């Protein structure tokens, strides 16, 4: 069973449990609306919003996107109207920074969802993979301007993809975030606060089919499009199954859909399977783990990795850098790492 199906099933059960009163035998069965019909309504509403709203682009320095001033930019949306004195403003729809992509919903439906996103700057830091976790600042609003959420989630990162009982962010938010990169540094203010530099800045306009769809909260109605403004600050490389292989490396075909790789056919995707080839040797024991300690104060330089060696973590303490890596050993040189080949069962931990 696909992990995405498991997660969606758990979420559906939770929502139905909350929505139904078991003491009321007269409660009618809940029937969701047609997803295509809802999408047609949503995309029309989103495009109407984009055509009738603008943002404070004059406060952003596009001549030098990675300026210190832009690190503190706060995006504000506003209706284009005579009352607001901005009839000559560029609409979001006509903004050079507006982009779009087609997003599909796996096995939930066969709809091609159009996701609009505003890309003010991509960011200069690390590339974000759908199986990573990210530290972000964000504000979630409805089309009428109602704020339903605002957070700075940097130390406690958000998983972009769910696995089993671990929920990820909604599909539309994830697919927008992976178009951006993280910060490339930060500076301390000396008062316990810091300023992040050169991180990705954007906004996403999300149809409910890749949002919460029929789910609702006190502030979010069912079948309602959402807007997220965000900054992509940091990323954490996940290892959902604890097998020492970063989850993003278990997306073997690089399509961002980690749940479609199941090497041993046991029903569990590789990124949630601790023995990927089902040969009785745990994946973590079929790879080599390496630790490098580099004292930059003494002029030491970082190692050059082999083509099958990948960094999993690093820690810099006063110029002494500790780097951990893994090497995906291919002992028979056939192009398949040992941990994915059930005819090779070498325990490198022995």
The DSSP symbol for 163 reads: B
Distance CA 1, CA 262 (A): 10
Torsion over CA of 273, 276, 277 and 283, rounded to 10 degrees? -110
N-to-C CA span, the chain? 33
| Per-residue confidence (pLDDT) for residue 27, from 0 to 100 | 54
Residue 291 forms part of a structural domain: no
Which region holds residue 318: left if phi is over 0, alpha if psi is between -120 and 50, else beta?
A: left
Structural domain harbouring 190: 3-236
Model confidence at 28: pLDDT above 80: no
Task: Report the chain's mean pLDDT, rounded to a whole number.
Answer: 90
| pLDDT (0 to 100) of residue 350 | 73
Please calculate the CA angle 120-57-205 and round it to the nearest 5 degrees: 55
SS3 127: strand
Q: Is residue 252 part of a domain?
A: no
pLDDT over 60 at 319, yes or no: yes
Which of the residue ranges 11-20, 108-117, 152-161 has the most confident prediction, judged by mean pLDDT?
A: 108-117
Task: Work out how many domains the chain is built from and give that number.
Answer: 1
Mean local confidence (pLDDT), 296-302: 95
Q: Is the pLDDT of residue 121 over 80?
A: yes
- The domain spanning residue 81 has which CATH number? 3.10.50.40
Helices (H), the chain: 3-19, 35-52, 68-71, 171-177
* β-bridge partners, 339: none
187-201 pLDDT per residue, tens = 988 887 889 999 999
Residue 313 domain-assigned? Answer: no
* Listed residue (277, 274, 271, 243) closest to 259, CA to CA: 271
* pLDDT of 2 higher than 60: no
Give just the sign of the alpha carbon dihedral 117, 235, 163, 264: positive
CA 138/CA 226 separation, integer angstroms: 13
Does 226 reside within a domain? yes
The more confident residue out of 166 and 254 is 254
3-state SS, residue 288: strand
Whether 181 contacts 232, CB under 8 Å: yes
Q: What is the pLDDT of residues 187-246, one digit of tens each?
A: 988 887 889 999 999 999 999 999 999 998 999 999 999 999 999 999 999 999 999 999
* Distance separating alpha carbons of residues 50 and 42, to the nearest angstrom: 12
Indicate the pLDDT class of residue 5, thresholds 50, 70 and 90.
very low
Within a domain: 331: no
53 DSSP β-pair partners:
79
What is the C-alpha to C-alpha distance for residues 209 and 106, in angstroms, rounded to an integer?
11
Tracing tokens 């301007």 back to the chain, one arrives at: 145
**Biggest alpha carbon distance in the chain?**
76
Contact yes or no for 47/36 (Cβ under 8 A):
no
Q: Is residue 295 part of a domain?
A: no
**For residue 33, how many other CB atoms are within 10 A of its CB?**
13
Residue the block writes with tokens 């003491």: 23
Which contacts of 152-159 are long-range, i.e. CB under 8 A and separated by 24 or more positions?
Answer: 154/233, 154/234, 157/133, 157/234, 157/235, 157/236, 158/133, 158/134, 159/133, 159/238
Predicted model pTM: 0.87
Q: What are phi and psi of 143, to 5 degrees?
A: -65, -25
Domain assignment present for residue 121? The answer is: yes
Q: Helices (DSSP H) in 160-307: which residue ranges?
A: 171-177
Q: Compute φ and ψ for 157, nearest 5 degrees.
A: -75, 160
Average pLDDT over residues 7-36: 55
Q: If you average pLDDT over residues 17-45, what whole number do you get? A: 74
């Amino acid at each position: 069973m696909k992990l995405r199906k498991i997660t969606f099933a758990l979420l559906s059960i939770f929502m139905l449990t909350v929505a139904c009163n078991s003491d009321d035998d007269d409660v009618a069965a809940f029937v969701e609306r047609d997803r295509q019909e809802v999408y047609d309504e949503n995309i029309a509403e989103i495009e109407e919003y984009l055509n009738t709203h603008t943002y404070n682009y004059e406060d952003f320095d596009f001549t030098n996107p990675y300026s210190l001033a832009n690190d503190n930019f706060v995006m504000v949306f506003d209706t284009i109207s005579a009352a607001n004195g901005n009839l000559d403003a560029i609409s979001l729809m006509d903004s050079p920074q507006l982009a779009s992509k087609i997003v599909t919903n796996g096995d939930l439906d066969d709809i091609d969802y159009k996701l609009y996103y505003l890309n003010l700057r991509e960011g200069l830091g690390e590339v974000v993979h759908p199986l990573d976790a990210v530290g972000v600042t964000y504000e979630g609003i409805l089309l009428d301007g109602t704020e339903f959420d605002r957070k700075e989630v940097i130390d406690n990162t958000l998983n972009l993809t769910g696995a089993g009982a671990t929920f990820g962010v909604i599909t539309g938010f994830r697919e927008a975030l992976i178009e951006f990169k993280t910060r490339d540094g930060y500076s301390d203010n000396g008062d316990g606060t810091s300023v992040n530099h050169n991180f990705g800045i954007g906004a996403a306009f999300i149809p409910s089919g890749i949002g919460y769809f029929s789910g609702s909260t006190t502030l979010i109605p069912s079948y309602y499009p959402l807007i997220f403004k965000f900054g992509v600050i940091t990323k954490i490389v996940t290892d959902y199954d604890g097998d020492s292989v970063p989850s993003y490396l278990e997306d073997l075909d690089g399509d961002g859909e980690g749940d479609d790789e199941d090497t041993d056919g046991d029903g569990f995707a590789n990124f949630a399977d601790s023995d990927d080839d089902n040969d009785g040797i745990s994946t973590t024991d079929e790879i080599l783990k390496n630790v490098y300690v580099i004292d930059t104060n003494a002029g030491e330089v970082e190692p050059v990795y082999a083509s099958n060696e990948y960094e999993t973590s690093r820690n810099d303490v006063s110029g002494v850098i500790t780097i951990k890596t893994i090497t995906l050993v291919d002992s028979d040189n056939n192009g398949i790492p040992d941990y994915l080949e059930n005819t090779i069962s070498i325990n490198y931990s022995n």
